[in-house]
Amino acid sequence: MKKAYYLFNPGRMSRRDNTLKFEPATDEPEKNKPRYLPVSGVSALYIFGSVDANSALYNFLGQRHIPVHFFDYYKHYTGSFSPREYLLAGQMLVRQTDAYRSKKKRVEIARAFVDAASFNMLKNLRYYSNRGKELDTQIEQLLILRENLSRVHSIPELMGTEGNCRQIYYTAFESIVEGYAWGGRKKRPPRNELNALVSFGNAMCYTLCLDAIYNSQLNPTISYLHEPGVRRYSLALDIAEIFKPILVDRLIFRMCNRKELRSTHFDFIENACFLAESGRKTFVQAWEDRLQQSIQHRKLNRKVSYRHLVRLECYKLAKHILGMEAGYEGFKAWW
């Protein structure tokens, strides 16, 4: 089974036959041994350190359809190397564009994203409410916003509704997570540990969705809820809205409440907070473990991993856009 690999240390990456060779840049002999990764087992690369590579390596990665995602010094997502879209089809591109240009169709798809995202937020709140957290106010407010979704008929209004849902949802974080300051969502830069986790987790979810889109026939630059923009894959932002509550937020709640993360896992630089190297490694390991977990899919009647669940969402959206399925409904957690 293919899996993602995460490179935290500086070094050099090169091709060695059908293997990726990583040579760490360190003066410590015990840590200076090259690491070899069979290319057949790599689904994606995540680069957090300063890694040197040449065009021959990227040509090789492109031929093997392996994307590379880059993060800066502060661990903000900065961009991706995306191989040539070998799965893109002309018919899909035309129909996807037509759906974007049709106000009715675009609003229907965008509304489905907001509906699923807000449903999954509400699911999280109810879970913790049933465990004694005082979240009745947030639950009631989210229910009201969800009831009004069918009466929203423009993209700006849908974006506003999604933003209001998330703002209400975020006010519950201080009650759900014990021992961490919150003070509202602050992301540029994150001001405390919890905001740092949300920023980092959301970036990981975005790249996960981008990988899933890449493995479908969808074009990642044509989106419906978020406006297509320059230098971003906005469809990944759309799909990430559905999965952030399920994958990112649930993981953060668990890790913080179970004390899997501590103050030593974070760095404070001036007025900003970021995950330290130990924190990134701890979170990434938990993230990969989460993606490899399986659930019993209700419609397929078989177990699928969380990673594959995101890919199935892309297939479902593609079938709807191509007219193979009558309506699109975003994924809603039932557990």
Judge whether 12 lies within some domain: yes
Judge whether 331 lies within some domain: no
Tell me, what CATH number does 31's domain have? Answer: 3.100.10.20
Domain boundary among 31, 51, 66: 66
Do 133 and 33 belong to one domain? no
Answering whether pTM is above 0.85, one says yes
Query: Using CB atoms within 10 A of its CB, is residue 148 exposed (0-12), middle (13-18) or buried (19+)?
Result: exposed
In the predicted structure, residue 286 carries a pLDDT above the cut 80: yes
| Higher-pLDDT residue of 21, 74 | 21
Count: domains in the chain: 2
183 alpha carbon, distance to own chain's centre = 23
Do 103 and 210 belong to one domain? yes
Judge whether 167 lies within some domain: yes
Do 147 and 32 belong to one domain? no
In the predicted structure, residue 75 carries a pLDDT above the cut 90: no
Do 139 and 47 belong to one domain? no
For residues 233-247, average pLDDT? 96
Do 113 and 186 belong to one domain? yes
- Mean pLDDT, rounded, of the chain: 91
State the sign of the Cα–Cα–Cα–Cα dihedral 155, 158, 159, 160. Answer: positive
pLDDT at 246: 97
- Which range of residues forms the domain containing residue 304? 90-321
Residue among 38, 9, 40, 1 at smallest CA distance from 25: 9
Spell out the alpha helix ranges (H) of 14-154: 55-63, 90-101, 103-129, 136-147
Cα separation, 114 vs 265, in Å, equals: 33
Q: According to the per-residue pLDDT averaged within each range, which of 5-9, 46-50, 51-55, 315-319 is highest?
A: 315-319
Judge whether 94 lies within some domain: yes
Judge whether 73 lies within some domain: no
